[in-house]
Every structure is written in C-alpha cells, then in structure tokens.
C-alpha cells in the first residue's frame, strides 16, 4: 500500500505556484488576488477559509476576507458579489458554503463572473468542463486529479466507482475521470443512496472515490485487492479524548481498507489539502488569463 499524501502533493503545487508568482512580480505584474466571503460562525467553514487565506499568504497571493453576518439579506450579498466582480484587482471569488437558509446558493453561484469562478461551480464553468473546454474545474475533484497525476496512478481503462453525485464532488469527478486524456479514460459508475447493489459494484472497482459523507462507510469487504482508494469524506465525530471535542473521519475504514489497497488517501491529510491547492491553481490561472489581450 502506498499513501496518496495530500500534504506533500499540495505543498509541491504551492511551491510551484510560489515560484511562478515571484516571477510574475519580478516582471512587474500583479499578484493573484483571491476574495473569500464567510457568512456567519460555522466552525468548519471558519477552518476552511482560514486555511485558504493562509495558503494565499504562503504563495504570495493577495487575499481579502469578507466576514458577513448570518442575517445579511440575499440582495446585500449579491450586491457585494457584484462589487467584487467589478473590482479589477480581484481575480477569484469564493463564497464558503453552506449558506444561511434564506440565501439561494444557486443565485450566489450564478452571480459570480465565470472569469472569477475559481470554485468552478457556475453552470457555464461546469458546461465547459463537460465539453472538455478550458474551464475552472471544481477544486475538490481537480485536487484529486492533481494527486493521481503526481503519483502517476494509472487510470486508462480502469473501472472507477464514484460513491456520491453532488455537484461539488461526485458528479464532476465522474465526468473528469471519463474524459479522453490522462488522468481519465476510466469507465465510470456513479453510485448514490438509491444504488441497491453498492457492495457488488465496489468489488468490481479498480478506483473508488468515496464522497458520501458517512464516516467509515467503505469497509474492506467492499474493496477488491489492489484497488486505488480516494476518501473525500470529512465528518466531525464527537470525541471526548480530543481537545477540540471532535475527531475528523473520512468515508473509508482506513486501517482495514488500506491493507487491501494499492494506493489510499488518509483523512485528514489527503483530499482536503489538495482541494486548497487546486483552488490556488485556479486563482493563479484566473490572474494569468487577464494578462492575455
Ligand atoms: P452531499 O452533497 O451530501 O452528497 C452526498 C452524496 O452521497 C449524495 O449523492 C448521496 O446520494 C450519496 N450518499 C449518501 N449516503 C449514501 C449511501 N449510504 N450509499 C450511497 N450513496 C450515498 O455531500 P458532498 O458535498 O458531496 O460531500 C461528501 C463528503 O465529502 C462530505 O463528508 C463532505 O464533508 C466531504 N467533502 C470534502 C471536501 C474536501 O476538501 N476533502 C470537499 C467537499 C466535500 P443522493 O444523491 O441519493 O442523496
């Protein structure tokens, strides 16, 4: 078994971006600039946004963090997004999800300019990705591709089983793995909560992407010998032994599944850091795109 180590790969991606950013600045060009919006006081969202802002600083990107009250109206938020859309210095905009119930996620996603949609959630970005056109790929699936690439995991002709069909992970990774280039060319099966024979399907998989949000759902008896396992799940589970009062669990029963796998991501330290690295890649690309006439 070999660990797909998200800490190592994300650091390599960030180092590469730092070199390119330093070179931009030496040439007198602007630094990439990410604007992040955080609404309310969700502990997990705070942690994610803090990591994104920290990564910007490490690489030499500018970042602007806008903290907004839980009570902000949808119209106020959309106006704020329009201001960021029109701000020429800002290259990428992300709104940390989930949003308060009174705000439409879809409206927020569709308000962000496609040219600044570094989360890759805008329907136009998704459509472009599906058609194989240049696009911002959603950060988590893009991070998974970067990791498979880094470890040169063979994907051509493999059967990939994706558990979960969300717009942010399951569905886009299923499309990306089926595209006609590396890392891709997989035969993909997408499973969800109505899939009756999930275990039989997983047992046929060469690659499993577990993205369902059920702690330790994927057990060793669901996995064939030598499979590649990518665990996207992040769930906070109460744990009195931890100072924070919770432990982070993935969707894979790591110890038992690791023993059968060829490659496996840990949680934490697998897909999570790669998501941030991919977001940084998208922000850099958004900035570079503006250099072109
Ligand atoms: P989501 O929107 O809740 O979607 C979960 C998907 O899993 C749904 O398609 C659901 O099926 C399916 N599912 C649920 N229970 C199932 C079961 N028992 N058998 C088969 N399929 C089942 O979740 P998400 O946003 O994609 O996130 C999934 C997990 O990844 C969460 O733990 C989340 O925290 C984590 N995540 C991690 C990162 C990262 O950076 N590492 C990024 C994003 C998300 P239906 O469609 O039928 O309901």
pLDDT band, very low/low/confident/very high, at 78 (cuts 50, 70, 90): very high
CA distances from 285 to 115, 116, 193, 265, 266 (A): 10, 10, 36, 26, 28
Residues 204 and 153 in one domain: yes
Q: What is the model's pLDDT at position 292?
A: 78
Cα-to-centroid distance, 22 and ligand 1 (Å) = 37
Tell how far CA 99 is from the center of its chain: 17
Put the strands of the sheet holding 92-95 in their side by side order. 62-68, 33-39, 92-95
Q: Pick from 57, 61, 95, 62: which is nearest to 78 by CA? A: 95
Name every protein residue with a CB atom under 6 angstroms from any ligand 1 atom.
140, 163-166, 168-170, 191-195, 198, 211-214, 232-235, 271-272, 275
Specify whether 106 is catalytic.
Answer: no
pLDDT above 80 (res 180): yes
Asked whether 93 and 84 are in contact (CB, 8 A), the reply is yes
Cα-to-centroid distance, 94 and ligand 1 (Å) = 20
Q: What is the model's pLDDT at position 81?
A: 98
Residues 104 and 154 in one domain: no
pLDDT mean over 186-199: 98
Residues 145 and 258 in one domain: yes
Q: What is the model's pLDDT at position 36?
A: 98
Distance (Å, whole) CA 54 – CA 19:
17
Encoded tokens for 48? 């994610």
Distance (Å, whole) CA 293 – CA 291:
6
Choosing from 5, 91, 117, 119, which is the catalytic residue? 119
Choosing from 96, 158, 206, 251, which is the catalytic residue? 96
Residues 143 and 94 in one domain: no
Residues 101 and 176 in one domain: no
Backbone angles phi and psi of 39, in degrees to 5? -115, 130
pLDDT above 80 (res 293): no
User: Considering the domain boundaries, does residue 12 fall inside one?
Assistant: no
Read off the DSSP letter of residue 32.
Answer: P
pLDDT above 90 (res 114): yes
pLDDT above 90 (res 149): yes
Computed over every residue of the chain, the mean pLDDT equals 97
Encoded tokens for 275? 């998501």
Residues 242 and 192 in one domain: yes
Peptide bond preceding 54 in cis form (omega within 30 of 0): no
CATH code, domain with 246: 3.40.50.720
Q: What is the model's pLDDT at position 91?
A: 98
Write the residue with the smallest CA distance to atom 19 of ligand 1. Answer: 193
pLDDT above 80 (res 221): yes
pLDDT band, very low/low/confident/very high, at 160 (cuts 50, 70, 90): very high
pLDDT mean over 272-283: 98
Cα-to-centroid distance, 194 and ligand 1 (Å) = 13
pLDDT mean over 59-83: 98
Candidate from 137-141, 161-165, 288-292 with smallest mean pLDDT = 288-292
Specify whether 20 is catalytic.
Answer: no
| Total domain count, the chain | 2
Write the residue with the smallest CA distance to atom 30 of ligand 1. Answer: 233
Distance (Å, whole) CA 55 – CA 92:
14
Residues 67 and 152 in one domain: no
Please give the sequence-ordered ranges of beta strands (E in DSSP) within 71-224, or none if there are none: 92-95, 159-163, 187-191, 207-210
pLDDT band, very low/low/confident/very high, at 291 (cuts 50, 70, 90): confident
Distance (Å, whole) CA 88 – CA 259:
51
Nearby residues of 127 by Cβ (< 8 Å), 6 or more positions away:
none
Which residue range(s) make up the domain with 195?
Answer: 139-272
User: Considering the domain boundaries, does residue 79 fall inside one?
Assistant: yes
pLDDT band, very low/low/confident/very high, at 190 (cuts 50, 70, 90): very high
| Residue carrying structure tokens 């024979």 | 197
Read off the DSSP letter of residue 245.
Answer: S
Distance (Å, whole) CA 263 – CA 259:
10
Measured from the Cα of 250, ligand 1's closest atom is 32
Asked whether 223 and 262 are in contact (CB, 8 A), the reply is no
Specify whether 96 is catalytic.
Answer: yes
Cα dihedral sign, 261-141-160-132? negative
Mutate to test the pocket of ligand 1, among 192, 202, 252, 272 (most ligand atoms within 8 A of CB): 192
pLDDT mean over 210-234: 98
User: Considering the domain boundaries, does residue 292 fall inside one?
Assistant: no
Could you read off the pLDDT of 117-131 as tens digits, one per residue? 999 999 999 999 999
Distance (Å, whole) CA 67 – CA 124:
27
CATH code, domain with 52: 3.40.50.10860
User: Considering the domain boundaries, does residue 95 fall inside one?
Assistant: yes
């Amino acid at each position: 078994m070999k660990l797909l180590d998200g800490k190592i790969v994300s650091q390599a991606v960030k180092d590469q971006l730092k070199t390119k950013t330093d070179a931009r600045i030496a040439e007198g060009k602007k630094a990439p600039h990410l604007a992040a919006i955080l609404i309310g006081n969700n502990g997990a969202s705070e942690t994610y946004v803090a990591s994104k802002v920290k990564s910007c600083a490490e690489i030499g990107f500018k970042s602007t963090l806008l903290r907004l009250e839980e009570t902000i109206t949808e119209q106020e938020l959309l106006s704020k997004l329009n201001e960021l859309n029109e701000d020429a210095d800002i290259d990428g905009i992300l709104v940390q999800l989930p949003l308060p119930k009174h705000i439409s996620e879809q409206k927020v996603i569709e308000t962000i300019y496609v040219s600044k949609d570094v989360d890759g959630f805008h329907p136009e970005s998704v459509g472009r990705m599906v058609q194989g056109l240049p696009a911002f790929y959603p950060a988590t699936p893009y991070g998974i591709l970067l990791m498979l690439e880094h470890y040169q995991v063979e994907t051509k002709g493999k059967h990939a089983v994706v558990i979960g069909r969300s717009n942010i992970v399951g569905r886009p990774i299923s499309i990306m793995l089926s595209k006609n280039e590396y890392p891709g060319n997989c035969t993909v099966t997408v499973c969800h909560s109505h899939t009756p024979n999930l275990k039989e399907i997983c047992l046929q998989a060469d690659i499993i992407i577990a993205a369902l949000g059920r702690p330790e759902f994927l057990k060793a008896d669901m996995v064939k010998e030598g499979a590649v396992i990518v665990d996207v799940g992040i769930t906070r589970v109460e744990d009195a032994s931890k100072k924070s009062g919770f432990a982070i669990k993935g969707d894979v029963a790591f110890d038992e599944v690791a023993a059968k796998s060829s490659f496996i991501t840990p949680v934490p330290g697998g897909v999570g850091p790669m998501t941030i690295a991919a977001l940084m890649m998208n922000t850099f690309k958004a900035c570079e795109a503006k250099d072109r006439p």
